[in-house]
Structure 1
C-alpha cells in the first residue's frame, strides 16, 4: 500500500531528525526518502520539514501532519490485522442465506452444533426461497440448490448428488392410492412450488435412459418450500421436493417415496459466494461440517 509506505517514511524521518538515518533504518537510499518527503509535501501543499545542511526538523504543519499520519498508520494496520484470516481461529460475524424448508428444518439445527464447536462465531441467517442477490445484500454466502445463475460466482459443493423425489403421506396414499408410474401423477393432486418468476410445475423423471415429464396440476401453490412440506405431511397431495428436505420424514414414516426406480432432477446443494477471497476459515469450516453431516 503506497500511502502507508509514504507515511511510514515520513514518520521515521521525523523520529530520526535525519534523512540519512531514516534511510538506514528503512533499508532504502537517502534519495528515496527525500523523494518521498517531496511527494508528500506536494500532495499536502505545505512544507513538512525545515532543512539545514546538517539536520531537518518539523514545521508547524509537519508536526500536525505527523500526528495525523501516526493515527492513520495505526488505523490502517489495525484494519489490515482485523481482516487477516487466522486458519486456527473460527471467529467473526457469519451472514448466511438459505432456502426456507432446508434452512428451518435441516440446516438450523446443524448450525446450532456448529456454533457450539466455535463459540467465538456470530451468526445471522436469512431464510428465503427466492434466489438472493449476494452482490446487493449484506451477506457472506448463500446455501443454495442448483447451479448459481452467475457463472462468475464460486460454488463449493455440499451435497453434489442431491435430487428431487416425489413423496406423499401414508394418509394420502390410503385415501387416493399409490401411483406406480410418474405419468399417473395427472390423476393426483400435486402440490406445487412457485417463485416470483416461475411456476415449478414440470416434474421430470428418468430411468435407464427413459424420460418422463409431467405437468403437475393441483389446488395448492406456495412460494415457501416449508409450506409445501406441511401440506404433504397433512395428506393434501403429492410433492416433488429435494431429497434432503424429505429424507427425515421418509425415515420416520411420515412420508412415503414414490417411483423409487426413477431418478428425479439433480439439484446439488452448494455454498455460494461472489468471490473466492470471501471464503474465510469460518466458511470453509462450515462447508466441511455440512458436507459431512448431510452426506452420511
Structure 2
C-alpha cells in the first residue's frame, strides 16, 4: 500500500542558533555572531526546545550549559549542520563559476566530426569542468535523464528547445564505394535507385526513414530497399565503404572518403540541404555556469569558423 509522507515545516529552525549558543556558551555572543538580538536567539532556542520536547540548555544568570539532551542533540546536529552548510557551499559554487560535470547526449557520428576538436579546446579552457559524452541515437528527455544538453540535427529538435549551431547547413549525399560500382551502373535519376542496394536507417521511434531528395525545389521522399538496416550513420558509412550498398549520409561524414576516393558520390543534383547540427538544451531562466561556458565556447568557435 502506498504510504503518505509529509515534510515537517521548520525542521531546521533554531538549529543554527542552538549551535552558536552551544559553541560560545552565551546567548549574547551567539547573537553578536549571527547579527541578531539576544532575545531573538532566546526565542529561536525556546521554539526549538518546544518542538523537540526537551530542554537543551541549563541557564543561570552567570552561565549557560548543555543538558544531557542538549549534549546528545549537539553531537548529532553539529556534524549534520556542517555537512548541510558544506553542501550549500558546493551548490553555490557550481552556480557561480564554471565547474562540475557537464553531461552531453550526442549521436555517434557527431563525436569525431564536431565534438573532438571542440571538447579538446573546451577542456583546456575550463579545467574545473568534467565533460561526459553519452553517444546515443535516441532523442531522449534531457531533464529526465540528467543531461545538461544534447547534440542533434536541426530537423529533429523540438520547438521548445534552445538551439545553438555547431555546423553550417550541409547536404545529404548518396555515396557508394568503387567496389560497389564495379558491377553496377551509377544511378543518374532517382528512379534508378530501384536497381540498387540501398542502406536504410531506422529512427529512434522505430520507423524506417525514407531517403529524401530535392528535385528543382520540390521535396521528394523515396522508400528504398536494400540488404542492411542500421540505427546510426557510422554503421551505414562502414557498410558503404565495404561495398554493401549505397548510403545517404551527411556530407561532413563522407568528406574524407570522397577526398581519398574510397567513396563516390552520385545523384549530386538531387541532394537536399539540411539545417546543420545544433547544441540544444531546455529553455530555462537560469543556466548553470558550466553549460553557459560551453555555449559561449561553441559560439566563439563558430565566429572563428566564419571569419576563416
TM-score after normalising by structure 2: 0.74
**What is the deviation of 1:88?**
6.3
Q: How does 1:1-296 map to 2 (within 5 A)?
A: 6-53=14-61, 56-83=64-91, 84-85=93-94, 91-103=99-111, 107-108=115-116, 111=119, 114-115=122-123, 121-137=129-145, 139-146=147-154, 155-159=163-167, 161-162=169-170, 164-173=172-181, 175-195=183-203, 197-206=205-214, 209-264=217-272, 266=274, 268-273=276-281, 276=284, 280-287=288-295, 292=301
In structure 1, distance between residues paired with 2:55 and 2:171: 70
Taking structure 1 as reference, are residues 52 and 276 closer, same or farther at Cα in structure 2, changes over 3 Å only?
same
Unaligned runs of 5+ in 2: 1-9
Taking structure 1 as reference, are residues 42 and 262 closer, same or farther at Cα in structure 2, changes over 3 Å only?
farther
Q: Which moved more, 1:74-83 or 1:102-111?
A: 102-111
Deviations 1:39-74 (A, max 9, x none): 322332322222345654322212222233321232
Asked whether the equivalents of residues 160 and 270 of structure 1 are also in contact (C-alpha less than 8 Å), the reply is no
Taking structure 1 as reference, are residues 132 and 86 closer, same or farther at Cα in structure 2, changes over 3 Å only?
closer
In structure 2, distance between residues paired with 1:87 and 1:257: 50
In structure 1, distance between residues paired with 2:66 and 2:86: 26
Count of aligned pairs:
294
Q: Which moved more, 1:13-22 or 1:228-237?
A: 13-22
Taking structure 1 as reference, are residues 146 and 207 closer, same or farther at Cα in structure 2, changes over 3 Å only?
same
| Aligned residues: CA RMSD | 3.7
User: Aligned with 2:94: secondary structure?
Assistant: coil
Unaligned runs of 5+ in 1: none
**What is the deviation of 1:28?**
2.2
